Amino acid sequence: MKVRFALFVFVTLLLLTGRAHAGNDCASVGVRPFADATPVYVHEAGVHRIFTKKWAASAGMKRYFDQQKQLFNVLKNQQPPEDGKAQLKFGAVGDIMRLPSHQPEFVGEALKEYLETLDLLTGNLETLISSRYPLPPESLFLMNSDPSVLTAFRNDQGWNYFSLISTANNHTYDFGDAAISDTLKVLRKEGVFQSGVQEMAGQKPYVVVEKNGIKIGYYAITTFVNDIKALENSDLHFNPMVKGIEALPFSEWKSVCDIDLSDTDKVLKQMAHDGADIRIISIHWGMEQEMYPRAVQLDIAHELVKQG
């Protein structure tokens, strides 16, 4: 069955409005026209909220969100495909954070009604789900949740609305291997496929599922983890991280020409070989309170599109 599009790159931040630089000319990679004029040190000082109110937003930020509105309107007004053509209604959410207690009803009926209209739903599970550790954890910077953070997304038939989940983020190793294994058990029980961590050597770092006759490949990665020593000592297998855009100050971020994207190139080729009509790369990246992606993130997204 012919599918009209071969690649969809989903990233935690929506990157579809950026402008790709021509060819592979690294000299042309630079700050995008909508780059924020706010000084870098303001962002790095952690006072984003003061300087990112609508009345104080830069012209670049306003232009970016105007472009986002135009994009959403185009997508909303798209006509359905011709009769006989395969189609898929896809939903993606960002970070699914921890619940400090058992809350099986926290997903409202209005949201469930909308989720019923989707063929495929993905999200980033930015919390562990393990009964071995307290709820909530002692630190605000550690993530562990009650299972209802996921089970509340079941429909009336008992199936979870999520089809694909990313377990690749900075909180993956907050509590070590045992907590990760507990989380993977919950996902398996819910019938939700994940990319990010493999329990055995040789397992594929991505998953391929089929919906409406369309095969979707899904590969999740992050730019850093909070506890790098726990990762280095882990018996599990974590998807390779994108290095070079993970730490402050921003002045030390590498350009796309200096970042190794060979792992994603290899995975995209493997997913294509497995027959994936749509290939999704989910990246957990960026900084707290950043209102839109930085230029290098847009450049990386375009490089991933070029990879196929």
Give the residue-averaged pLDDT of 275-290: 89
Query: From the CB of residue 297, how many other CB atoms can be counted at a distance below 10 Å?
Result: 24
Angle at the Cα of 300 (from 76 to 68), degrees rounded to 5? 25
Mean pLDDT along residues 295-299? 85
Span 98-112, average pLDDT: 91
Q: Look up residue 283 and give its two tokens.
A: 């990246």
Top-confidence residue, 53 or 281: 281
The residue ranges of every structural domain in the chain are 40-72+87-307
Task: Return the number of other C-beta atoms located less than 10 Å from residue 88's C-beta.
Answer: 18
What is the pLDDT at residue 25? Answer: 53
Q: What pLDDT sits at residue 21?
A: 37
Structure confidence at residue 1 as a pLDDT band (50, 70, 90):
very low
* 229: Cα within 13 Å, side-chain hemisphere: 0
Between 272 and 52, the higher pLDDT residue: 272
Query: Which pLDDT score is estimated for 51?
Result: 52
* Contact in structure between 255 and 26 (CB atoms under 8 Å): yes
pLDDT score of 292: 74
What percent of the chain lies above the pLDDT cut of 70? Answer: 81
The DSSP-derived string for 49-106 is HHH-SGGG--HHHHHHHHHHHHHHHHHHTPPPPPTT-----EEEEEEE---SS--TT-
Q: How confident is the model at residue 52, as a pLDDT?
A: 52
pLDDT in tens, 132-141: 999 988 888 8
Q: Which residues contact 142 (CB under 8 A, 6 or more apart)?
A: 171, 174, 175
Report the SS3 class of residue 132: coil
Q: What integer pLDDT is reported at residue 65 of this predicted model?
A: 82
pLDDT of residue 64: 79
User: Does pTM top 0.85 for this prediction?
Assistant: no
Contacts of 208 (CB under 8 A, 6+ apart): 215, 216, 217, 218, 271, 274, 275, 276
pLDDT band at 26 (very low <50, low <70, confident <90, very high): low
Task: Give pLDDT tens digits for 257-268.
Answer: 899 999 999 999
CA distance 279 to 217: 5
Average pLDDT, integer, range 17-41: 41
According to CATH, the topology of domain 40-72+87-307 is Purple Acid Phosphatase; chain A, domain 2 (3.60.21)
Report residue 121: phi and psi, to 5°: -130, 130
The answer, yes or no, to whether residue 10 has pLDDT greater than 50, is no
In the structure, how many helices (H) and strands (E) does the chain have?
9, 9
Q: What's the pLDDT at 55?
A: 65
* 272/163 Cα distance (integer angstroms): 20
Indicate if the pLDDT at residue 9 is higher than 80: no
Q: Where are the beta strands (DSSP E) in the chain?
A: 90-96, 120-125, 164-166, 193-195, 197-198, 207-211, 214-222, 237-238, 278-284
Buried-state track 194-203, b at ≥16 Cβ within 10 A, e below 16: bbbbbeeeee
In this prediction, residue 7 has a pLDDT band, given cuts at 50, 70 and 90, of very low
Residue percentage of the chain with pLDDT more than 90? 55
pLDDT of residue 272: 97
Per-chain mean pLDDT for the chain: 82
pLDDT over 50 at 5, yes or no: no
Asked if residue 42 lies in contact with residue 51, where contact means CB atoms within 8 angstroms, the answer is yes
Do strands 193-195 and 164-166 pair parallel, antiparallel, or not at all (unpaired)?
Answer: parallel
Please state the φ and ψ torsions of residue 197, each to the nearest 5 degrees: -135, 135
Least confident among 51-65, 112-126, 277-291: 51-65
Query: Of 98-102, 246-250, 275-279, which range is least confident?
Result: 246-250
